[in-house]
Amino acid sequence: MNPNENEENPPGLAPRVVISILVFFGLLIFAIIYVAFFAISFSLFQKIAIILVAILIATAILGAMWTLWGINLGKEWKEKGCK
């Protein structure tokens, strides 16, 4: 490692990692509780469809969050003259 390198994490990284973990586990908890207790009268395909929609929503939330962070970080690097 180069001693001149800045070893700090980019700003805003820690909260996004925490949110990503919470969204992932929240999705798992939702899926388990939903299938076990609330979807008893639904068919297997309906259960799968609802879980897939939940996965798509979680992916959209995480994708938007991380994309905005990457764009802002890229702007900062461009302003600093980093390649």
Instruction: Judge whether residue 1 has pLDDT over 50.
Output: no
What's the whole-number mean pLDDT along residues 7-14? 74
What's the whole-number mean pLDDT along residues 5-11? 65
CA-to-CA separations, 55 to 11, 29, 35, 70, 82, in angstroms, rounded = 27, 12, 14, 22, 36
Q: What is the pLDDT of residues 23-78, one digit of tens each?
A: 999 999 999 999 889 888 999 999 999 999 999 999 999 999 999 999 988 888 77
CB 62 within 8 A of CB 20: yes
- Cα 12 to chain centroid distance, Å, stands at 14
| Domain residue limits, the chain | 42-83
Concatenating the DSSP letter of every residue in 30-73 gives HHHHIIIII-TTS-HHHHHHHHHHHHHHHHHHHHHHHHHHHHHH
pLDDT at 20: 95
Structure tokens at 31: 């899926």
